[in-house]
Structure 1
Amino acid sequence: MPEKKTAAKAATARRQGKSASTQAGEYVHEEIKHIRAGKHGARSAKQAIAIGLSKARRDGVKATPSKTASKATKKKAAQDTKAAKNRSAGTATKKSATRKRASTKALKREGTAAASKRALSTQARKSAAKRTSASKSAAAKKAARTKGATVRKTAAKKAARTRAKKAS
């Protein structure tokens, strides 16, 4: 069950018209915090992200899996979306105590290295490398449109500082 604070942040992002992946990011961030705090572990950064996305979908975030996602991933996403609909309709099925205990115990056996800065940065680089330049360009154009003047100005200043630092 996600924290109320996380659900509230995701709801705010939804109201602001931000993308589903931005809304789901709140849940992923929460999962990373849980792993770092030692609440449970994860086998890899990818698994930590998958747990966060699953929680987001079950909370009603319309995060669709990518076109290139595996059959299993698409199936799990569909299950999570269905669970969200059932929950809102009041017909949600309760996870058995035995199953819940088993999955928690399995995660507790895993390490916390999956949430390290190094592991997350490696995962981000691998993920970015798979994207086409057209997709990255489209995302940048959308960001420029939706950011607003103040945030755009701050980003431009930061970019200028970075360029200056690399030049020297």
Structure 2
Amino acid sequence: MQSYTGLDTLPAITVYPQGTETGDDQLGWQGAPYSNPAIAGAFYQLGDDQCQPQRAVPVLDLHGTADTTIPYNGVASRNLPPIPTWLGQWAQRDGCTAGPDTFFTKDDVTGQRWSGCADGSVVEHYQVSGGGHTWPGAVRTSGPGKTTRTINATQLIWDFFAAHPSP
């Protein structure tokens, strides 16, 4: 990622990274050194243990408990921590003082939030019970396993980015 300033031909923009599959893995480590406004996705590895963002980075995670590609409970041999552990580490990194607290429950989805984070940041997680390696709300097959229609990942991500603009 690069920052362009002082150029009359380029408007000021904010980039909100979001990814799926390997793109999420990239976000996990990019969120730290670049201190993006916010990052969203279904993350995999924690990234570099030395990751120390310049500021707290809001994080949104959506993950199915029956994901066989990136198992919810992790796989130590693949350096994949359990998703709740990964989220707790981000919450710690963001200086969150509360959570996880349940803020959403409907059908097969539970939303949890870590709050009281530095710089108005937040860490949010949508756990899809029985959900596979899919895009929540997708109208057609988006990956192996069950796809929930209880939430719409695209709308949630957009709303999250809108609520956490660049500082």
Q: The TM-score by the shorter chain falls in which range?
A: under 0.3
Larger strand percent: 2
TM-score by structure 1 length?
A: 0.28
TM-score by structure 2 length?
A: 0.28
Structure number with higher relative contact order (C-alpha < 8 Å, ≥ 6 residues apart): 1
Larger helix percent: 1
